[in-house]
Amino acid sequence: MFRIRKVPTGSGSTAVQVVQSGGHEIKVVKHLGSANSQQVVGELTSAARLWIETHSPQLPLFPKTDGKNETTLSSEHLELLATRPVLIHHLFLATTRLFGFNQLVDKIIIDLVFMRLVEPASKAASIHILSSEYGIVHSLRSLQRKLKTVTKNKTAIEGKAANYARDHLGFDYTIVFYDVTTLYFESFKTDEVGEGVKRPGFSKDNKHQQPQIVLGLVVTRDGFPVEFKTFAGNKFEGHTLIPSLKQFKRRHQTDSLTVVADAAMISQKNILSLKEEGVHYIVGARLANLSQDITDQIDTILPRTDQANIRLQVEGKGILICQYSRKRAAKDKHETKKQVNKAKQTLKTPSKATKRLKFIRQTKSEKLSFNKDLFEKTKKLWGIKGYYTDQGQLTNQEIIDHYHNLWQVEKAFRMSKSDLQVRPMYHYKTEHIIAHLLICFMALCIAKHWERKTNLSIKKVIKLLKNIQDASIEDTLTQRTLTLRKRLTLDEKLIVEKLT
């Protein structure tokens, strides 16, 4: 039978161990750690109790305490006080210690990260849910006070995330993936003057009338977030690349850095800036903007066999890698056919034209005609995807494979917006906006860690763990309280073992 033992160490700390008695010997089967503070000792004890529950075939109804048996309770005097999903919070706290987030922010902020992960809600609603469902009490006034102090630890929090990526994911700071998204506010009030970031702009959520911010995110090849930067809502996304990479390169003192980004990030000015900063690039190419000569060259030398690829040198942009895909060609042909049909319908009734279509040419006399040259150029590019780079030592396929990993940033954004519900935002002070994003950033780090450890989506992990309830039972005669945990299913045991 396993039990928990607490013993003093030579340094004055308290060690928490799981031990097993056999004959005249006590065998230490699991050493959980040692600490000086009662709070950490309590957390280590909870971790020890969790280890026992997952490694014991059967638990006693009334466990031993300090080696003594408790008296049996009469069921006639038992009262159920509450049932709570305590285990998920214990596992979450263990993960925050793994990252070191608990060293940087107050416990109330850590619990807000927990709520953002398991049940996203407003700050006030989160305080209420923590109290009613988890028995964790915080004051709203204390929260408002602590929110003001979170932003000063932004660099340190991002540093902890980068350290995790280095230690657990093999991240070596040589290649990062970058993209931007927009996050809107549940408000129509904007920051018209000063350094405020709430501005209307191009919205990726189709909320063009509402103020927003632009968020740039840097992730590893595994999609793990290591840094973010905020910009005003009216900032063009292509203008966010250089400031974000400058910040990353300066913080981590990396000599060799390659950024992978989409086509919106490439421009002549950005390429020159990247060269000045010593940053290499792999970015998407907008082939429709190529000159006719280069388009004809691609059409001539690129075989129309599936996954065939070539490379060309394009002045001012670097190396252009082009790859042909039969699946993409069928899709492009279908899209072009729809655009041509719309253009022809518009030419039949030009007075009803409401917007300019792709294959419509308008002369100075405002006469509309079909743009045959553009149609022929478009046909030549059916099925072709392009990539710009300055990494001449890499093969064409290596460049393409690196770019295809860019979906990891998109997945991180999807998790933030759906699972963590990072938007809409309700804050109006910049420091509170950054604090909210930092809370979501830490939650995203933990979500990615849990997904990696369990090979399950974070939504399924949360669902399984929240189903593990602890029941608090009181003997109304002795006022003694016991806590009993629901019997774990096989799936629940497996997930707990992976996260322990």
Structural domain range at position 349: 330-379
Per-residue pLDDT averaged across 446-458, rounded? 95
pLDDT at residue 69, rounded to an integer: 44
Please report how the helices 107-118 and 123-134 are oriented relative to each other, as an axis angle in degrees rounded to 10: 90
Between 150-164, 205-219, 311-325, the lowest mean confidence (pLDDT) is in: 205-219
> Phi-psi category of 109—alpha, beta or left, where left has phi over 0 and alpha has psi -120 to 50?
alpha
Residue 340 covered by a domain: yes
Determine the 3-state secondary structure of 300 from DSSP.
helix
Other C-beta atoms closer than 10 Å to the C-beta of 153 total: 18
- Which secondary-structure segment (H or E) carries 163? helix 154-169
Final residue before a domain boundary, out of 316, 346, 379: 379
Return the pLDDT at 187.
66
- The amino acid sitting at 270 is N
In the chain, what percentage of residues exceed pLDDT 90? 49
Is residue 467 a part of any domain in this protein? yes
Reply yes or no on whether the pLDDT at 393 is more than 70: yes
Q: Tens digits of per-residue pLDDT, 319-364?
A: 999 999 999 999 999 999 999 998 888 888 877 666 667 888 877 6
* 192 pLDDT more than 70: no
| Count of domains forming the chain | 2
Last residue of a domain, one of 318, 347, 379: 379
Are 423 and 183 in contact by the 8 Å Cβ rule? The answer is yes
284 within domain boundaries: no
DSSP per-residue codes, 81-98: EEEE-HHHHHHHHHHHHH
Please tell me which residue, 59 or 273, carries the higher pLDDT value. Answer: 273
Token pair, residue 304, equals 């129309």
Task: Please report whether residue 242 resides in a domain.
Answer: no
Q: Which of 271-275, 309-313, 428-432 has the highest mean pLDDT?
A: 309-313
User: Average pLDDT for residues 400-426, to the nearest whole number?
Assistant: 87
User: b/e string for 399-419 if b means 16 or more Cβ within 10 A?
Assistant: bbebbebbebbbebbebbbeb
Among the three residues 379, 412, 436, which one is the final residue of a domain in this structure? 379
pLDDT digits (tens, 9 = 90+) for 110-121: 999 999 999 999
pLDDT higher than threshold 70 for residue 370: yes
Q: What is the pLDDT of residues 439-450, one digit of tens each?
A: 999 999 999 999
42-84 pLDDT, tens per residue? 878 888 887 887 776 555 555 554 444 444 545 667 888 888 9
Residue 460 within any structural domain of the chain? yes
CA distances from 289 to 252, 338, 374 (A): 36, 21, 11
Range 170-188 average pLDDT: 88
The answer to whether residue 431 is domain-embedded is no
Domain membership flag for residue 311: no
In three-state secondary structure terms, 413 is helix
